[in-house]
Structure 1
Amino acid sequence: MFPQVKKRERADCLELTLQMYLDRVQLRLDKQACIKCDICSLVCPRQAVTIIPGETGLEIDIDPRRCVLCEVCAHFCPLGALTLTYNGQTKAILTEHQGLAPFLPKIQMDKSKCPEACPPLPEGELHWCRQQLQLVANSLEECPKHCHKCLEACPRQAIVLDETGLQTLPQPDLCLRCTQCLGVCRYESIEVNPQFSGEVIIDYRKCPPDCVKCMDLCPVKAIKREGERVFLKVERCSYCGVCRNICDEGAITLIRREVIAMPGKFSQAWVEALTKLVGND
């Protein structure tokens, strides 16, 4: 008898395991990191992943009878919520052998372009600010070079302060490539590489007046309501599909026009995944 994929589910994770005589292959879904986007369900070549809408939220399920532990879903997952291992080590055969195109780095910071605040003086002393051309209090919050705008703009807490509390640092694992930080950085010190280009269209005429599902679940807080009108409050989002998954009124259209990755020739698995992602809706 051939070994079968076994499913184990807990509150925080879902695991599919293929245990052979010596080797073990395991797909693990971190439910806390998963945002229930539609990307893994679309690219899965066996339609093993299902996103299940509920009254106020979304659930995800993986069918062990369909899953072949092929690695495609883990490669496309925008937050690394899906991981595939072979004997405890990351399984990346397709990626390492040009089966799947590598994605560009999520977020990078050139700290040499970020302004440095003036060094602190004894409490109560004033110092001459060369930017404001006046004496100012020795407070970091008042210093025009003490810039934490990207930290405040990030809806994912993917930018944090270092141990000193003075410098900002990116946390790529949490980043969804939404580019909201770029909109507030005037020093051009941040580079964000989107995973998709596309468009989200919201027909607010279909939105019930008391519905806030898409706003509550949007992982980058890109959707806003003003009166009857529901709209994207940012120029670009991450095009993850969560809003469309939860909308039961057919008010949201998501169009992905391009998957942005390293150029080159890749496997049929990559080609088929792109076909399912681009232009869908």
Structure 2
Amino acid sequence: MSKSKKLISKDGNTLLFDAEKCLGCGLCVDICNDIRGAIRLIYPTQILDKIKIKHDDKQCGACGWCAINCPFGALEFRINGDKVEVVDTYVPEAAIQREVNVRLETCMCCKQCEAVCPRGAIKVSGKIRVTSNECTHCGFCKNSCPTRAISFVEKKVEIDADSCIRCGVCELSCPIGLIKMSCLDCLLCLGNTFHAEKKSNLQVDGIVNIDKDKCIYCGLCELNCPTQSIQVTKPFKGHISIKKANCPNDCTTCIDSCPCGAIEKRENVTVINKDACIYCGTCHRVCPSKAMDFERDEVAMVDSNGDLIWYIKH
């Protein structure tokens, strides 16, 4: 369990820092530079080391602006011991926006989002029911299920999404072909077919819990959802590229440090999955050969009316 470090406590206002959650995006530094210049980040020289924060108590006014706008919850602001999300008297009329929305009416509890989340922030649960009246209650599906995920509720087949591993044994064992389940690999290519079957023959009551303390809004869940039931608002936009002439083939520093697994080696060449990149800038800061060309151009903000706006960096 991570522990937060107290940076300052002034007039009942307290600022805390959790190195376990810090991804090194540097937004706190940018924000504070416009106000007091009290924060500086120190990046590790070893891959497994944590990012450290250097804080100037004399310059800091304990306003909480840095913490309220930290996209990953590494900075925490408290007033008289109570955690604060937004305080109108302390911050401008806009705050950093980052969000994950799940459309449960189209979710089929396939758990693909849970499987690809690099931070283990997603937990899918729920029930899948076979609604067809043609079921003869033979019990073949229930008896063949290796995880005992199937039961009969009010004479209907009910599949526990928590226990189901999408092995497809129930589908194979059903003598009249009422159950249409697929493995995770097949869902990526047969998602639309499965979804059509689900509408006519299956009732899915799913719950998708997202731990916002762990979520880094990388969008991998959205990219891998076969029914497009997830929408992610990333906190940043920007551009990033690799200067291949400067990038050594045997170096994996950026790959090891990327919090969302957006960088990999392909045929001994370092490549970036820009769809998964959150433009935190960690790779740029830790690259020993300065091979990363990185710029964060826009920051997602929500105004006082709750509308999403993009602050463009000039």
Same fold (TM over 0.5): yes
Tell me the TM-score normalised to structure 2 length.
0.63
Q: Look up the SS of the partner of 1:187 in the other structure.
A: coil
Aligned to 2:8: 17
Aligned to 2:287: 247
Rounded to whole Å, the distance in 2 between the matches of 1:241 and 1:279 is 17
**Residue of structure 2 aligned with 1:175, choices 205, 215, 232:** 215
Q: Deviations over 1:36-65 (max 9, x none)?
A: 332212221322222223322443222222
**Counterparts of residues 1-281 of structure 1 (less than 5 Å):** 12-20=3-11, 24-44=12-32, 45-57=35-47, 58-91=51-84, 94-95=87-88, 99-115=92-108, 147-162=110-125, 168-263=208-303
Cα distance change on mapping 1:160 and 1:60 into 2, 3 Å? same
> What is the identity percentage for the equivalent residue pairs of Structure 1 and Structure 2?
28
- Contact between 1:109 and 1:190, CA under 8 Å: does it hold in 2? yes
Q: Deviations over 1:51-106 (max 9, x none)?
A: 22332244322222222112121122111111111111234564477714134451
- Contact between 2:93 and 2:303, CA under 8 Å: does it hold in 1? no
The gaps in structure 2 that reach 5 residues or longer are 126-161, 166-207
Aligned residue pair count: 226
Rounded to whole Å, the distance in 2 between the matches of 1:111 and 1:264 is 28
The gaps in structure 1 that reach 5 residues or longer are 1-10, 117-146, 266-276
Rounded to whole Å, the distance in 2 between the matches of 1:66 and 1:178 is 33
Rounded to whole Å, the distance in 2 between the matches of 1:221 and 1:71 is 30
Q: Look up the SS of the partner of 1:256 in the other structure.
A: strand
Q: Look up the SS of the partner of 2:226 in the other structure.
A: coil
Tell me the TM-score normalised to structure 1 length.
0.70
Q: Look up the SS of the partner of 2:271 in the other structure.
A: strand
Rounded to whole Å, the distance in 2 between the matches of 1:93 and 1:37 is 21
Structure with bigger gyration radius: 2
After superposition, the CA RMSD in angstroms is 2.9
Quote the offset at 1:14 in angstroms: 2.1
Cα distance change on mapping 1:244 and 1:224 into 2, 3 Å? same
- Contact between 1:255 and 1:279, CA under 8 Å: does it hold in 2? no
